[in-house]
Amino acid sequence: MTPEGSPADHEALQRLNHEYIASVQRGDVKRFDELLAEDFLCSNPDGTLVDRAQFLEQTARPVVINSLVAEDVQIRLFGDVALIHARTRYQTASGDERHGRYTDVWVRRDGRWLAVSAHVTR
């Protein structure tokens, strides 16, 4: 598969994806406030759908996982829309290793990439 978009777009999205994952691990509400579009929605692993405010609220809770990393990251660009698919690896509070997947949708608005949707499985 040949990804569309410029190398600069791919670099920006790789950086944003890394910051997004780091923000999950740190519970960084401030950074998420900058990364998320006003109309952001997230499908959680338990099947709930939360809006931006609810996502920020759940992000503020104590983080109960460690060593979160994204692997096999695939960035697909379609003009001003980008899909990021990846696998995650992390440790539970008890030290068990777990895996999951996510798909994030980013949209370029006013020259900035903003996350508009996330779907997370574990």
Convert the pLDDT of each residue in 13-28 to its tens digit.
999 999 999 999 999 9
What residue numbers bound the domain in which 28 lies?
Answer: 7-121
Average pLDDT over all residues of the chain: 95
Per the CB < 8 A criterion, the answer to whether 121 and 85 are in contact is: no
The pLDDT value recorded for residue 4 is 73
Q: How many domains does one find in the chain?
A: 1
* Residue 83 C-beta-side C-alpha neighbours within 13 Å: 8
Indicate whether 61 belongs to any domain.
Answer: yes
**37, 16 Cβ separation under 8 angstroms:** no
pLDDT at 2 over 80: no
DSSP string covering 46-92:
TS-EEEHHHHHHHHTSPP-EEEEEEEEEEEEEETTEEEEEEEEEEEE
Strand 112-121, strand 36-43: pairing? parallel
Q: Is 1 within the bounds of a domain?
A: no
pLDDT for 3 equals: 54
Global pTM value: 0.93
38-77 pLDDT per residue, tens: 999 999 999 999 999 999 999 999 999 999 999 999 999 9
